[in-house]
Amino acid sequence: MPEETVAARDAVEQRVLDLIDPAEIRDLTLDLIRCDSQNPPADPDAPVEAAAVRVLAEACERRGLEVRTDDAAPGRPNLTARLAGTDAPGLLVLAHTDTVPVGDGWTVPPLGGTVADGRVVGRGASDMKGGIAAAVAAMSALRRAGARTPPVTLAAVADEEETGIGARAFTAVADGAAYAGAIVPEPTEMQTIIACRGDCYVEVEVRGRAAHAGDPDTGASAIYGAARLIDAVRALHEENRAHPHPLLGPRTWNVGIVHGGFGTAVVPDECRVSIDRRLLPGESGARAVAEIDDVLAALRLDGLGLTSRAWLGMEMPGFETPADHGLVRTAHAAAHDAGAPVREVGGWTAACDGGYVARDLGVPAIVLGPGSVVHQAHRPDESVAVDELAVAARTYALAALRL
Annotation marks residue 160 as catalytic: yes
Longest dimension (CA), the chain: 91
Q: Which of 13, 36, 49, 98 is catalytic?
A: 98
3-state SS track over the chain: CCHHHHHHHHHHHHHHHHCCCHHHHHHHHHHHHCCCCECCCCCCCCCCCHHHHHHHHHHHHHCCCEEEEEEEECCEEEEEEEECCCCCCEEEEEEECCECCCCCCCCCCCCCCEEECCEEECCCHHHHHHHHHHHHHHHHHHHHHCCCCCCEEEEEECCCCCCCHHHHHHHHHCCHHHEEEEEECCCECCCCEEEECEEEEEEEEEECECEECCCHHHCECHHHHHHHHHHHHHHHHHHHCCCCECCCECCEEEEEEEEECCCCCEECCEEEEEEEEEECCCCCHHHHHHHHHHHHHHHCHHHHCCEEEEEEEEEECCEECCCCCHHHHHHHHHHHHHCCCCCCCEEECCCCCHHHHHHHHCCCEEECCCCECCCCCCCCCCEEEHHHHHHHHHHHHHHHHHC
- Other Cβ atoms less than 10 A from the Cβ of 274: the count is 16
Annotation marks residue 98 as catalytic: yes
In angstroms, the CA 63 to CA 317 distance is: 34
In angstroms, the CA 113 to CA 385 distance is: 13
In angstroms, the CA 241 to CA 59 distance is: 47
Q: Which of 127, 159, 160, 276 is catalytic?
A: 160
Which positions are catalytic? Answer: 98, 160
